[in-house]
Amino acid sequence: MHHFDYKAGRLHCEDVDLGEIADAVGTPLYVYSTATLRRHANVIANAFADIDCLIAYSVKANGNLAVLATLAAEGCGADVVSGGEMMRAIKAGIPPERIVFSGVGKTRAEMALGLEQGIHQFNVESGAELETLSEVAVGLGLKAPVAVRVNPDVAAGGHPNISTGKQGDKFGVPWQEAENLYARAGELDGIHVCGVDVHIGSQIGDLDPMRRAFVKTVDLTRRLRDQGHKISRIDFGGGLGIPYAAGDAPASPADYAAMVREVIGDLPVQVILEPGRVIAGNAGVMITEALYQKPAPDRTFLIVDAGMNDLMRPALYAAHHDVLPLSAPDENSRNAPFDIVGPICESTDKFAAKRDLPPISPGDRLAFLSAGAYGAVLSSQYNARPLVPEVLVDGENYAIVRRRPSFEEMTQLEAMPDWLS
């Protein structure tokens, strides 16, 4: 579900003509819909309304401050994986007591930040991290609320590069070691054991692997409680998939919620969820302008002004994004296949192969749909290209929520050593 539709032949975000934004801001750029963000946050919250549940939006999906503030106003907490994401969430108005801190490589400084801010939970991913967190907490005279992230050895996820819950993945504590680590955590000063955490991957449309992982996690929680650990929370991570193309039918938030309720049964725990893509994915598009057509013996390239540095997902995961022209095609026009490529000097700088498009001329603009999650956050300045700007629409209003940097801003952190100046 999203709020990007044609009105009078022009693609709009809510009530704003995307061509108007592209004229004002230039291309390439990202545009996000407030209505879609709100709707998705509320669909999830409503699906879990009858149980004690913290929706900790996964900041890595889209960490723009205005996006975070929009979700904070809907009551979302945050799942963060760095001190930077934690500060973004807090700056955007998400209370620390609604923040969970995940990730395999937390530094002492990041742990101290989380402790001083009083975050809800540290999701600890190894014995060594647990010992370090204990030391940092004791040093500060504080106690760290801890869940151990377990690796349930269940494969899931749309692409091998985004599967995280299988033996051999770097994430979580190996299943066989979990109970020993809880025993150790129970002895350590500065550690308050309160939860169990699991996250098996991303873009998961089928609930079966999730159910298998969650059943194992709930069984473990019951065993830990029997052993005397006061486990009052289970964090089921994120991972629910979204439709990227016509015909995609991932499980709905309602089905997901029904499955979670069934799996936890009467276990008295707070449920924590870390949805990212399902909230932000379909709430954003990337807009680009066609520069040239280049015929080759076996195909026609359509060269656009966005590159893989602006939207990495096709290059990284062979991901599909639907493409729509900002001006609705003439009903009688005939589609032709194009390889849509960017200006970057890499062969993986390809957004789509043999994609059927209506006639496109230089200067025409295209929208890559479902680019709201893992889009702008993954962008870089490779090839000395400025970071792509971001715009947030709300009804008939829009605002630039990250502007394009100037050349001076892009180079201001660099310095000449004495011997060159």
Q: What is the helix (H) or strand (E) element at residue 99, kind and residue range?
A: strand 99-101
Q: Considering the complex, what minimum distance in angstroms separates the CB of residue 6 from ligand LLP? A: 27
Report d(CA 141, CA 158) in Å as an integer: 43
Q: Are 202 and 158 in contact (CB under 8 A)?
A: yes
Judged by CB under 6 A, does residue 271 bind ligand LLP?
A: no
| DSSP code string of 54-68 | EEEEEGGG---HHHH
Nearer to ligand LLP, 190 or 275 (CB): 275
- DSSP character for 282? G
Judged by CB under 6 A, does residue 288 bind ligand LLP?
A: no
Q: Considering the complex, what minimum distance in angstroms separates the CB of residue 210 from ligand LLP? A: 11
Report d(CA 225, CA 202) in Å as an integer: 29
Report d(CA 137, CA 111) in Å as an integer: 8
Contact mark string toward ligand LLP, 87..126, x via CB under 6 A: ---------------x------------------------
> Which of these segments, 132-140, 226-234, 275-283, 290-298, binds ligand LLP (CB under 6 A)?
275-283
- The count of other CB atoms within 10 Å of the CB of residue 53 is 18
Nearer to ligand LLP, 3 or 60 (CB): 60
Report d(CA 300, CA 63) in Å as an integer: 36
Is position 13 annotated as part of the catalytic site?
no
Q: Considering the complex, what minimum distance in angstroms separates the CB of residue 281 from ligand LLP? A: 8
Q: Considering the complex, what minimum distance in angstroms separates the CB of residue 277 from ligand LLP? A: 4
Q: How many residues bind ligand LLP (CB under 6 A)?
A: 22
- The count of other CB atoms within 10 Å of the CB of residue 418 is 6
Q: Which of 70, 202, 221, 379 binds ligand LLP (CB under 6 A)?
A: 202
Helix 207-226 with 178-187: angle, nearest 10 deg: 40
Q: Are 92 and 65 in contact (CB under 8 A)?
A: yes
Q: Considering the complex, what minimum distance in angstroms separates the CB of residue 97 from ligand LLP? A: 19
Of 13, 53, 76, 345, catalytic: 345
Contacting residues toward ligand LLP, per CB under 6 A: 58, 60-61, 79, 102, 162, 199, 202-203, 237-240, 274-278, 313, 317, 373-374
Residues identified as active-site: 345
